[in-house]
Structure 1
């Protein structure tokens, strides 16, 4: 699904992402964790061709994202409220996104009906523009628009950050369903270790632009991550990657 080769991004002389090799297979659920400034969002944006690397490439189903368009048809992402058209109401935005994917209003409404619990009565028929919603409710709109697209690849950057506990629980169920039942490849960045280890089968730990751990989620993964972040371990790009394979 996703293959990264010798990917490097430099800002003001400092290397912020340096990923020599990474493969994400179709149907995997990936959690990306790391401290602020680790390079998680920059990596997301390069996978989505929103910024260009100094060197290297990102392949999506064999397509170089920097030179192809086909991958966009099966990829959905929400990184922040800047992805939304904030002068529209949620309904107008959903119908616009649906139309881009050859869906009529009835088809869009059917998908939105399945998101009733997730929206929790706070999104539809409120007469508000997206810009007037809270950040948490803007996130709901962003996630909902992703699901409308029925993607093969779903990428969410910090989706749990601004939503309430009930919505967090519902979002985790949505992500698990999309991955397990519909075969959607999911990549989720989060500072919340509990959520990401609950949702994802594979965890990538990123520090200073380098993926220093690549581990299959197990009963000990949460405590391992908590111990790592708790001691404030300092890492350098020369650290060897720990890789544990699923068996």
Structure 2
């Protein structure tokens, strides 16, 4: 579904993203992990054509995202509160997003009724503008607006941050259901290694702009990642990288 070739981004003479080749197949559930400054959000923004690379391209369903619009019809994303219209109430925002996808207010209301547990009584009918919600509740609005669109490709940056443990568990179950039962391709960035390895079948480890490891999630993946981040490098990961680069 997504093909990345020779993608590079430079800020202040520093190469912050350098991805020679990456393939994400339709229906895959992919997690992106790395320390702050690894280039994860920059990579996401290039996939969404929000910033242009110095070189390379992102292909979605056979079409370059740069200069085209078709990919927007099946892609939903929430990276931060900048994606929201903060002077609207949550209801107004959901109706706006639904309208963009030819959904009536009744259809939107029906969908929102399925998210009662996820909202936990904190989002709807509170008379608040989005800007007045907590960071966690803003995230709930952004994530829910993505689900409302029924996307084929879902991209979320740090979706588990700022939300309470009960909501984190509900969100994990929703994401796994969308992927396994509905075939939604999911690309998720998170600092929470436990959640990301639970939700995603494939983990991309990113450091200094490079994807240094592409891991099929197994029972040992969480421990390997924890070891890597605990010491800055891992005896179980880095030798494998070196072997691959020397071939």
- When normalised by structure 1's length, the TM-score is 0.95
- Secondary structure in structure 1 of the residue aligned to 2:86: coil
* Corresponding residue of 1:182: 182
| Correspondence 1:157 to 2:157 | yes
User: Cα distance, 1:233 vs. partner?
Assistant: 2.1
**Partners of 2:95 and 2:242 in 1: CA distance:** 47
* Corresponding residue of 2:13: 13
* Corresponding residue of 2:167: 167
* Corresponding residue of 1:23: 23
* Corresponding residue of 1:148: 148
- Secondary structure in structure 1 of the residue aligned to 2:182: coil
| Correspondence 1:202 to 2:167 | no
**Partners of 1:133 and 1:12 in 2: CA distance:** 35
Contact 1:206 1:213 in 2 (8 A): yes
Contact 1:31 1:200 in 2 (8 A): yes
Query: CA 1:58–1:211 in structure 2 vs 1: closer, same or farther (change >3 Å)?
Result: same
* Corresponding residue of 1:106: 106
Q: How does 1:1-247 map to 2 (within 5 A)?
A: 1-233=1-233, 240=242
- Secondary structure in structure 2 of the residue aligned to 1:150: coil
Query: CA 1:241–1:180 in structure 2 vs 1: closer, same or farther (change >3 Å)?
Result: farther
Q: Matched residue pairs, number?
A: 241
Contact 1:95 1:108 in 2 (8 A): yes
Contact 1:33 1:190 in 2 (8 A): yes
Query: CA 1:53–1:241 in structure 2 vs 1: closer, same or farther (change >3 Å)?
Result: farther
* Unmatched runs of 5 consecutive residues or more in structure 1: none
- The superposition leaves residues 139-170 of structure 1 with CA deviations (integer Å, 9 ceiling, x where unpaired) of 00000000110000000000111101001000
Contact 1:8 1:53 in 2 (8 A): yes
* Unmatched runs of 5 consecutive residues or more in structure 2: none
Contact 1:156 1:187 in 2 (8 A): yes
- Secondary structure in structure 1 of the residue aligned to 2:213: strand
Query: CA 1:60–1:241 in structure 2 vs 1: closer, same or farther (change >3 Å)?
Result: farther
Query: CA 1:6–1:241 in structure 2 vs 1: closer, same or farther (change >3 Å)?
Result: farther
